[in-house]
Amino acid sequence: MSPAHDTPDVGIPPRLARRMSMPEQHEYLRTKFSRRRALTGAAGAVGGAALLGGGAAAAPVSATPGPPHRAAVRVDGSLVAPFGRHLAFGADPKTQMRISWQVPFAVNRPYVRVGLTPWELSRKVEAEVRALHTPALSKRLPAVEQHYLHVALDGLRPGTTYYYGVGHDGFDPASAERLGTLGTFRTAPAAPGTFVFTAFGDQGVSYDALANDQVILGQNPSFHLHAGDICYADGTGHGKEADTYDARVWDQFLAQTETVAKSVPWMVTTGNHDMEAWYSPNGYGGQSARWSLPENGPDPRNAPGVYSFVYGNLGVVALDANDVSYEIPANKGCTDGKQTAWLDRRLGELRARDDIEFVVVFFHHCMYSTSTHASDGGVRDAWLPLFTEHQVDLVINGHNHVYERTDAIRGGGSGEVGKPVPVGASTDPTRDGIVYVTAGGAGKDLYGFGPGVRDSHEGKVDDREAIVTFHWTASRLPAPDTVEWSRVRYTGFSFLAVEVEKGRMKVSALAEDGTRVDHFEVRRGPGSP
């Protein structure tokens, strides 16, 4: 098996692009479009992820000359319908919720109405507007104006269902003709209880992505984890803006996802396709404009996909693997070690709490996988010792567009099997090691496994003693591996559903038609099998 490379970039010369970091790519593009403006004699304002309604963008770019900026089009507010609603928890899911949405044109005084019943939306909160301007990056793509709106709700009651509506001057969600646009959300309970969360990565916009969303909704999850490569507006995967970058794909994605994300908190982190060099030097200006995520990570401005939250007896940690990846190093070292130091502290804090039984970590690049991109030695070198020390219970990745699940793996980069975990088995992280799941079958074009390696899953088990694969090294070269830990493999669209209760997590992988293709249990300590 040979490593796959993403589509070559045509906006930046390929040989040059491979040597450029994200800040260098950003400067290249800004200079290129600034020169174009000078040659055409156009006068304009600065582009980028400017925040129009307060707040701060990740790595502001206002000091850098930008391309001509079109004046925002305004139309009668009664003719503008909000779309793309998506929720996210704040740092405390019991009392905090973030409501985000989009409008196709600039509107006056956007807001959220919220209350305990649909006929009494007594609380009205003004929204923050974050606008993105994307120039015509090629002759085949137009300039794009996008308007993202955000409201932070704090001081909510735990375990409570709220009704909400998004609106603006001319569009009142509480009016009789707009009641059909209302949504609901539920805060985390004050006391632990049984709940379900779902997870996947590498979604994009497709019928299969939509099908997965609908099956996810049927699980009635309390929240959803998205392990990066969210919509694929950037088709290169290296953060290099080119004529393959189409900002309008975000509109399609948020409209597609609204059916679930308007009621299920959609907790995302950053993949390699989510680095967008045009908007900010760190590549995350676009992400910061579109999402409102917990800001309790080491550096919310420069690493917005790094955060944590607690729901019931579960601690969840989101990481940005671009910071440590050997395979795609465009943003390697972007937090200057802050993320890894924070991870060590945060895992220690979670493990010290008596009310937390399980800890789940999710990020994009695979720590253990045998599919197309294989394993990233960078995430192993940076985080594997910490996962082992703090006895993380489950690690969820994307990046490879398949479902693959390991046996329980003890500490050590080579992947020593602590205990085989066949379909339906139980494992104890305190004794056996950690199970790693690649859940990259969310909707983007599927990958496969190596020559002669067949799927092996519930109803179709094909166990193998070993699989030949590789992992990425610090020199960005693939090193061959022969591994024994690849236990379950499925090359279909799928997602993860995890039921968490006192004393155990029941983990299942479901295909887009709802068929179960894998399941196992995680239990800890005394009384575990």
Sequence spans of domains, the chain? 77-184, 196-225+306-523
The DSSP code sequence of 314-370 is EEEEE--GGGT-SSSGGGTTTTTTHHHHHHHHHHHHHHH-TT--EEEEE-SS-SS--
Sheet holding 358-362, edge to edge: 307-311, 314-318, 358-362, 394-397, 435-439, 403-406, 486-490
What's the confidence (pLDDT) of residue 148? 98
259-271: b (≥16 Cβ within 10 Å) or e: ebbbbbbbbbbbb
Q: Give the per-residue pLDDT at 412.
A: 80
Per-residue pLDDT for 15 more than 90?
A: no
**What pLDDT was estimated at residue 61?**
33
Please say if the pLDDT value at position 109 is more than 50. yes
Mean pLDDT, all residues of the chain: 89
Q: Percent of the chain, pLDDT > 90?
A: 78
Q: Contact 440/494 with Cβ under 8 angstroms?
A: no
pLDDT at 34: 62
Taking only the tens place, the pLDDT of each residue in 170-225 is 999 999 899 899 999 999 999 999 999 999 999 999 999 999 999 999 999 999 99
* Cα dihedral 241, 244, 245, 247 in deg (nearest 10): 160
- For 370-409, give one letter per residue: b (16+ CB within 10 A) or e: bbbbbbbbbbbebbbebbbebbbbbbbbbbbbbbbbbbbb
- Residue whose C-alpha is closest to residue 367's, from 419, 328, 325: 325
How is the chain split among helix, strand and coil, in percent rounded to 5?
A: 20, 30, 50
* Total Cβ atoms within 10 A of residue 414: 13
Cα 337 to chain centroid, rounded: 21
CATH topology of domain 196-225+306-523: Purple Acid Phosphatase; chain A, domain 2 (3.60.21)
Largest alpha-carbon pair distance within the chain? Answer: 75
Mean pLDDT of 242-258: 89
SS (H, E, C) 152-213: EECCCCCCCEEEEEEEECCECCCCHHHHHHCEEEECCCCCCCCEEEEEECCCCCCHHHHHHH
Question: What per-residue confidence (pLDDT) applies to 18?
Answer: 65
Q: Quick check: 264 pLDDT over 90?
A: yes
Categorize the per-residue pLDDT at 344 as very low, low, confident or very high, splitting at 50, 70 and 90: very high
- Confidence tier at 30 by pLDDT (50, 70, 90): confident
Q: How confident is the model at residue 12 (pLDDT cuts 50, 70, 90)?
A: low
More confident site: 59 or 160: 160
Residues in the chain: 529
Return the closest-CA partner of residue 251 out of 167, 181, 149, 146: 146
The C-alpha atoms of residue 317 and residue 349 are separated, in whole angstroms, by 12
Worst-scoring range by mean pLDDT, 185-199, 253-267, 273-287?
273-287
- CA 381 to centroid of chain Cα atoms: 22
- What is residue 21's predicted lDDT score, i.e. its pLDDT? 83
Beta bridge partners, 19, equal none
Mean pLDDT over 30-40 rounds to 58
Burial 7-38 (b: 16+ CB within 10 A, else e): ebbebbeeeebbebbbbbbbbbbbeebeeebe
Q: Is it the case that residue 511 has pLDDT exceeding 50?
A: yes
Is residue 494 within 8 Å of 444, Cβ to Cβ? Answer: no
Query: In this model, does residue 51 exceed pLDDT 50?
Result: no
Q: Which pLDDT does position 137 carry in this prediction?
A: 75
**What tokens appear for 181 in the block?**
């646009």
pLDDT given for residue 14 in this prediction:
57
**Residue 235 confidence (pLDDT):** 80
Q: Read off the pLDDT of each residue in 417-442 and give the average, rounded to a whole number.
A: 97
pLDDT average, residue stretch 242-255: 87
Read off the pTM: 0.90
Higher pLDDT, 5 or 282: 282
112-154 pLDDT per residue, tens: 999 999 999 989 999 999 999 998 877 788 899 999 999 999 9
Instruction: Name the residue with higher pLDDT: 75 or 485.
Output: 485
Name the nearest CA neighbour of 96 among 182, 187, 184, 159.
187
User: For residue 146, which amino acid is it?
Assistant: Q
pLDDT band at 66 (very low <50, low <70, confident <90, very high): very low
Q: What's the CATH number for 77-184? A: 2.60.40.380
What per-residue confidence (pLDDT) applies to 352? Answer: 97
What pLDDT, in 10s, does the model give residues 366-418? 999 999 999 999 999 999 999 999 999 999 999 999 999 999 999 888 899 99
Q: Are strands 408-409 and 494-501 parallel, antiparallel or unpaired?
A: unpaired
Q: Do domains 77-184 and 196-225+306-523 have the same CATH topology?
A: no
Residue 438 has pLDDT above 60, yes or no: yes
**Residue closest to 164 by CA, chosen among 201, 114, 101, 238:** 114
> Could you give the CA distance from residue 78 to residue 165 in angstroms, rounded to a whole number?
15
pLDDT per position as a tens digit, 446-456: 999 999 999 99
Residue 119, both tokens: 């006929």
Residue 73 has pLDDT above 80, yes or no: no
